Amino acid sequence: MEETYAVITGASQGLGKSFAYELARRKINLVLISLPDQRLSALCADLQDQFGIKAHACETDLSKKESILSVAEWINSQFDVCMLINNAGVGGTKKFEDASTGYIDTIIQLNVLATALLTHQLLPNLHKRTKAYILNVSSLAAFSPIGYKTVYPASKAFVHSFSRGLYQELKNTNVFVSVVNPGPMKTNEDSTRRIEAQGFFARITSLNPDKVAQYCIRQLEKRDSVIMVNHFSWLFLSLLPIWVKLPMLTNKIRKELHTEQQVG
């Protein structure tokens, strides 16, 4: 049988790590990518021991174009890829004029360039399989601009639009493209603290990354091209006109930022 691999970016923690365990349970070999010093090799060893699959670690910074091209070349030379999950991403809350150029550049390079460029470089590899999948991780933030986040929702709007266009372009080929738009998830201590601070509504609509990963892979197999995880939040955002939700969301983020500054 053909030995194929799923490639997951941002795989050391949060949703990326949950994707790794979900695919390993399904006996799919893995190539995991994350920043250095994230204990990625230990994660690969654990996945191999638990599930008897092959797992390879690649530690690199995907916010740098040369790193994206280098890791893509390595993957294409070593592995037959059946699935690509573009999960790596970064956000942040900051007044735009106070943001550094590095802050802005990192969000755009990682969320936008890494998603598009890695997909572009691995697509010929994916085309060699009988069936292959691309899953891009966007966000509910893609559906509304938000003050004090500014660049992040715009970058996720790119991921959503890029995924939908690529789906249409490849719909009659062997490569199926999907995008998932999850809401807030308790992926680490910082995200958990933010969600808890936002009150009751945020807590009841927050998502468990393990359950999100399970649902996404199940929907991917069903060829669901737009995966909505939190349907209540999605409906809420869809029904509200932009002149209502833009100031409402911005005020919410402004208060959060003000609270953090007071604590800091």
| pLDDT tens per residue across span 229-241 | 988 787 878 888 8
Distance CA 127, CA 133 (A): 10
Q: Is the pLDDT confidence value at 79 over 50?
A: yes
Q: Is the pLDDT confidence value at 1 over 50?
A: no
| pLDDT tens per residue across span 22-36 | 999 999 999 999 999
Strands 29-34 and 55-59: parallel
* Cβ neighbour number for residue 69 with a 10 Å cutoff: 13
Catalytic residue among 5, 148, 152, 167: 152
pLDDT-based confidence at 200, cuts 50/70/90?
very low
Domain count, the chain: 1
pLDDT-based confidence at 189, cuts 50/70/90?
low
CATH number of the domain within which 208 lies: 3.40.50.720
Q: Is 148 a catalytic residue?
A: no
Q: Is 156 a catalytic residue?
A: yes
Q: Find the largest Cα–Cα distance for the chain.
A: 59
DSSP-assigned beta bridge partners for residue 9: 33
Q: Is the pLDDT confidence value at 169 over 90?
A: yes
Catalytic residue among 156, 167, 215, 245: 156
Average pLDDT of the chain is 90
Question: For residue 216, what are the domain limits?
Answer: 4-263
| pLDDT tens per residue across span 113-146 | 999 999 999 999 999 999 999 999 999 999 999 9
Q: Is the pLDDT confidence value at 40 over 50?
A: yes
